Amino acid sequence: MFLTDKIVKIESVECDSLRYDITVADNHNFFANDVLVHNCQNCYGDVSKYFETKTFEISEKCEGSSMTVYYRDGEFGCCSRNLDLKRDTENTYWKMAVQFDLENKLKALGKN
């Protein structure tokens, strides 16, 4: 889904709930629970004056999650992004690895 409506007003509102705005200098990337994440590149923050005169689109990735499986030195593993997950048949990533027999398929390749 793409939002193409023009922004006509930006205003601050009071809010009593907890909110966190993490800003990291220079590249805006940081690690959270061992996962590399980044600040949204189209949030206003310090650049709100720049965006007052710009038209831009906001898009959202909705097609799924990334998963990596590996077979290295006789060990099979399953990862979500860069987090190596413990073998757990209740975990969705591991369910997919088992369902599609990925361990045996990787072993059959005969490589790390």
Give tens-digit pLDDT for 6-29: 777 777 777 777 666 556 666 666
- For residues 45 and 86, the model is more confident at 86
**Residue with token string 């831009």:** 56
Q: Does residue 72 lie within any of the structural domains?
A: yes
Residue 74 lies in a domain: yes
Domain-embedded: residue 57: no
The answer to whether position 89 is within a domain reads: yes
What's the structural domain count of the chain? 1
Q: Find the helix or strand (DSSP H, E) in which 98 lies.
A: helix 92-99
Residue that has been written with the tokens 């390749």 in this structure: 109
Which residue has 């990533």 as its token pair? Answer: 93
> Which pair of structure tokens corresponds to residue 84?
């190596």
User: What SS3 state is found at 67?
Assistant: coil
Domain residues for the domain of 89 are: 68-109
Question: For residue 12, is it within any domain?
Answer: no
Backbone angles phi, psi at 79, to 5 degrees: -125, 150
- Contact criterion met (CB below 8 Å) for 34 and 83: yes
pTM of the model: 0.44
Q: Is 5 contained in some domain? A: no
What is the rounded average pLDDT of the residues 47-58? Answer: 66
Q: Answer whether 4's CB lies under 8 Å from 56's CB.
A: no
In a domain, 102, yes or no: yes
